[in-house]
Structure 1
């Protein structure tokens, strides 16, 4: 059997603290500190405990060159190598069972996409699954009677001041324009009308936020899209995947938006109950966002960006910025039509991946946004200090 180390893995020394009543009864503090090693691999969701011998072996195994397993046993104990195989950190060229085949397949996906190691591990291990943010907030408030400031301490200032006020050079404010009025009305919406969103408004916001204005044959075999927002390398590697609940003329379900054709690609129909349940899970149970008539998952097609920026320290950051550009365009397009909009990074990425059939390390959700008509009455608080939306 030939093996090699997985493509990307970080090893973290971590301390955990627990409480031992038996030690407390003996007159000790009862606090126990434990030190251990954890492997964070780009192809595994789990944090994997390691012992010192496994850490040492990992540091001497090549991620690129296949080696004979028997040959490696001359330098490392067989039980250590067997443990690394079972944990998916040592990859077999010809896997012997289903678990080893899954490890090999997932590791190959990471290799094929040309990730930077630290970025890959960061992306894999910051994804949420089954998180209920409302339940977390409720437990947090029940656990302590302290106010927000008492729990967290003084807030950093809203604006850092680098010089004394007298040294600032005032700048003239521009004359008010239509753009200023639009920016003033841009407010995150947490109150949505339960009525279906008109199809014309739905189509208009999608086009202005995510649609391609032109398709350019930039070079032989290389097409670039011209959109209303910038993108790293002009690659526009962030896709719009839709969960539709209430849009006139569009059945509830899952869709991919085709930016060049300005068209919906139907992926799966859902009944109203299933769509509502999925919407709630996507946004980690933030009920006010789950009530929007549609959600747009901003999904990075990493292979599109990393095709050019291979193993690049800035590539992952650039893709995340692309999602921010798109969300602001959606906000402005929605606001112009007197619609509300939102974006949140507090999402259950794993549920989004599973719903749309995405390969996590090739196509990864970065955020979920959405838009729709505002409710007639404000029930949930919104940050509108200038009262441009709510009187």
Structure 2
């Protein structure tokens, strides 16, 4: 059989420190330091510990050139262990699944550091609210107490005398719209979003406005948000809960046709499903429409192959889309939100996504604001709320 090293692999020398009474009694500082080598392979997405012999063997093998196991100057057990761990890729039939998994990663042209970041920052089964409560960082006062003083709100590079003040320009209607943009954490599930308003927001934020057809198999879209290379890789998957004329459930939004594709629903109530997807952030659970921003990495990396900035422009696009959603929703009298605290693994499973080709980047959503602020919203100018009551309701 022939083998090669996996395509993307980083090795981290990690130190684990623990208290040891024996070290203290022998005149030391009481700290026992254990050093280990941790392999971070993007196609696995989970940490794997290796010993020194395995580490050295990985360093000698190529990720592209196949070699016969009989020609490797290494202990046979090290080869077997690395095959079992998925860090070596084998040519045999029993290694076909791991080989295909690694080849999919290679074929998408990921930059190694971006692939590692993506693979190891995905959550599964995380309860973000419980984590904040357990750490005492669930409130601003708690964060200050636990984390200390935060960095200042703005950087300064000169003393006051050198500053050049700028004139304040009289606000326009657009400034008023910006002032009313605030993350919504209180939704009213008893009030449905009208069908036309729902369609209008999807059209403004996610739809293709025009297209440029270079050839039969090459099309570029024009949307209302910028996109790296004009590629617009972002797909949108909807969890519709409270919209007139649209059955609650899961959908894929077709940007070119401005249409919904119904998908198989989850095996649990929608609200419970949303809670699991947003890592138990209950303040988003009643949003009328929840949108998964799902980038097709293969489309962006088709142009930006192994590019150090490829992943960054994909992430930037999520920000462009969410701000457009905020403004469109605010103009329509609705509230909007975005969160990166999501359980990517469960989202991938629910929507049938292969994270190497197409991932889960963030979740945003919109709907009617509630009548009472049960969960705090950041609105210091009181343009949305006054003493916990809405300033106005359309």
- TM-score after normalising by structure 2: 0.93
**Aligned partners of 1:252 and 1:269 also within 8 Å:** no
**Aligned partners of 2:136 and 2:143 also within 8 Å:** no
Question: Does residue 385 of the first structure (1) align with residue 383 of the second (2)?
Answer: no
2:197 to 194, 201, 211: 201
Question: Does residue 367 of the first structure (1) align with residue 365 of the second (2)?
Answer: no
**Which residue is 1:320 aligned to?**
315
**Aligned partners of 1:246 and 1:293 also within 8 Å:** yes
What pairs with 1:285-300 in structure 2 (closer than 5 Å)? 285-300=280-295
What pairs with 1:1-391 in structure 2 (closer than 5 Å)? 1-20=1-20, 30-72=30-72, 75-96=73-94, 100-141=95-136, 147-195=142-190, 196-219=192-215, 221-270=217-266, 274-391=269-386
Distance 1:283 1:350 in 2: 12
Distance 1:197 1:30 in 2: 62
Map Cα deviations across residues 155-212 of structure 1 (whole Å, 9 max, x no partner).
Answer: 1111111111221122223332121111010000000001232222211111111111
Map Cα deviations across residues 12-60 of structure 1 (whole Å, 9 max, x no partner).
Answer: 0001123446767888765322110000001002100011111111111
Quote how far apart the aligned CAs of 1:247 are.
1.7
**Aligned partners of 1:199 and 1:249 also within 8 Å:** yes
Give the 3-state SS of the residue equivalent to 2:353 in structure 1.
Answer: coil
Q: CA RMSD in A?
A: 1.9
Unmatched segments (≥5 aa) in structure 2 = 387-394
User: 62-71 or 335-344, which moves further after superposition?
Assistant: 62-71
**Aligned partners of 1:295 and 1:371 also within 8 Å:** yes
Q: How many residues align?
A: 383
**Aligned partners of 1:252 and 1:270 also within 8 Å:** no
Unmatched segments (≥5 aa) in structure 1 = none
Residues 285/21 of structure 1: CA separation in 2 closer, same or farther (3 Å cut):
farther
Give the 3-state SS of the residue equivalent to 1:363 in structure 2.
Answer: coil
Give the 3-state SS of the residue equivalent to 2:329 in structure 1.
Answer: helix
- TM-score after normalising by structure 1: 0.93
